[in-house]
């Protein structure tokens, strides 16, 4: 198996005050069914260098005063290979019937097909304020950060009475 990724970034700066960065990452993973193989993960960040504004410069207080915000997605494919396919394993068993009572080959389903498994996606959001005073000798940052995850790749143990092996949805 192999991964394939594409990445693009655009940076824009206006008047050395307003900054924008936009990214798009496309990842292809063989761990998912062909219909869910690709994950697309965008992000964007903006910043305003307030200390470059004349009305802030005239105060003579700040060496840096910048407000910034960002939002982005990232992906995770941490599951076992071929989870989207059913796995049937052959086994040798002793049957108590028949003339020979020998081993006979049988088969058991060890994993159901899970073609709907897709990329786990984590969304991050941040807002921050950077300040510097006294010739950049005193600096500080205040930041709010939040993160949420969707479509978590989490294994659920199966009951032995179902007739499957003990592995879970992640293949472990």
pTM of the model: 0.74
| pLDDT tens track for 39-97 | 999 999 999 999 999 999 889 899 999 999 999 999 999 888 878 888 777 777 666 65
Q: What is the pLDDT of residue 78?
A: 87
Sheet with 4-14: list strands edge to edge.
Answer: 4-14, 18-28, 38-49, 64-76, 120-133, 138-150
| pLDDT tens track for 1-42 | 688 999 999 999 999 999 999 999 999 998 888 899 999 999
Q: What's the token pair of residue 97?
A: 């019937």
Task: Please classify residue 141 by burial: count the beta carbons closer than 10 Å to its beta carbon, then call 0-12 exposed, 13-18 middle and 19+ buried.
Answer: exposed
d(CA 58, CA 52): 10
């Amino acid at each position: 198996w192999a991964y394939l990724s594409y990445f693009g970034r655009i940076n824009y700066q206006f008047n050395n005050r307003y900054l924008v960065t936009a990214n798009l990452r496309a990842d292809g993973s063989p761990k998912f069914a062909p219909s869910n193989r690709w994950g697309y993960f965008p992000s964007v960040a903006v910043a305003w260098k307030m200390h470059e504004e004349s009305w802030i410069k005239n105060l003579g207080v700040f060496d840096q005063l910048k407000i910034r915000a960002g939002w982005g997605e990232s992906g995770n494919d941490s599951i076992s290979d071929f989870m989207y396919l059913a796995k049937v394993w052959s086994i040798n068993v002793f049957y108590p019937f028949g003339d020979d009572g020998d081993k006979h080959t049988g088969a058991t389903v060890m994993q159901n097909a899970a073609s709907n498994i897709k990329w786990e996606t984590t969304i991050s959001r941040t807002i921050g304020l950077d300040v510097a005073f006294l010739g950049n000798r005193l600096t500080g940052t205040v930041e709010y950060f939040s993160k949420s995850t969707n479509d978590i790749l989490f294994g659920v143990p199966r009951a032995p009475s179902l007739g499957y092996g003990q592995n879970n949805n992640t293949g472990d």
